[in-house]
Structure formats: C-alpha cells, structure tokens
Amino acid sequence: MKKFLNNKYLNILGIIIAIIAIFIALHSTPSLSIRTKLLFDGYFLEFFKGDIVFNEFQHNLDKDILEKDNSKIYTFTGTNATYREGFLINNFKVKKVGFLYFADSYGEA
C-alpha cells in the first residue's frame, strides 16, 4: 500500500513539473509567447504560419509607455486571418516579466 501511494505522488509530481516546464517553454521567447497567445485565442493555423518581426515604427510611437512597462511591439506577418470582431489583429505587445514573455494584442498606429 505504501509503495502504491509513493508511485501515485510521484506521478502527480511528474505531471505538475511537466506542466510548469511546458509553460516556461511556451513563454521563453517573444515569438513563442505570441504563437501561444494565437493558439489559446483559437487561431490554430496561424500558430504554425506567418513570421513575427519587431515593429520598430509602432514601438517608437509609444516608446515612453512601452519602456516604462518593459514591453516591445511585434507584428505577426504572412497571414491576414487573425480577425476579431471585424478588426485585423497583427500587432502584439510583449511584456517581459523576469525571464518570461507575455503577449497581448495591441492596436494599430
């Protein structure tokens, strides 16, 4: 009985460690963070398609706010299928927190 409980706790611990490792991996770079955002927002094909580039123009427009927030603006290019409520979503604000990156959609210039 004791051996069974130890195996059960080791399995649970292994699952928890795997979930944490996957979370860290998916937020380890700005590109992966944006692709994760697209995936969990329901844009499954866009997760695999398109390129992600730093949007220097948009970043320079909002430089003061973004530097205070430790964020940068990236643009998702290569596809125009990322629509929400009739608006094209292709700019993402990526905030760095520690060693992790978190993406959120951002308006156009």
Q: Which of 108, 109, 73, 77 is nearest to 93 (CA)?
A: 73
Its pTM stands at: 0.79
Residue type, 16: I
Position 94 scores a pLDDT of 94
Residue 27 pLDDT greater than 70, yes or no: yes
Residue 82 pLDDT greater than 80, yes or no: no
Position 3 scores a pLDDT of 61
Domain boundaries, the chain: 2-106
Residue 37 pLDDT greater than 70, yes or no: yes
Are residues 78 and 91 in contact, defined by beta-carbon separation less than 8 angstroms?
no
At 105, is the pLDDT very low, low, confident or very high (cuts 50, 70, 90)? confident
Residue 20 pLDDT greater than 90, yes or no: yes
Residues 25, 30, 36, CA angle at the centre, nearest 5°?
Answer: 60
Residue 23 pLDDT greater than 80, yes or no: yes
- CA distances to 40, 45, 75 from 36, in Å: 6, 12, 14
Backbone angles phi, psi at 87, to 5 degrees: -110, 140
Residue 48 pLDDT greater than 60, yes or no: yes
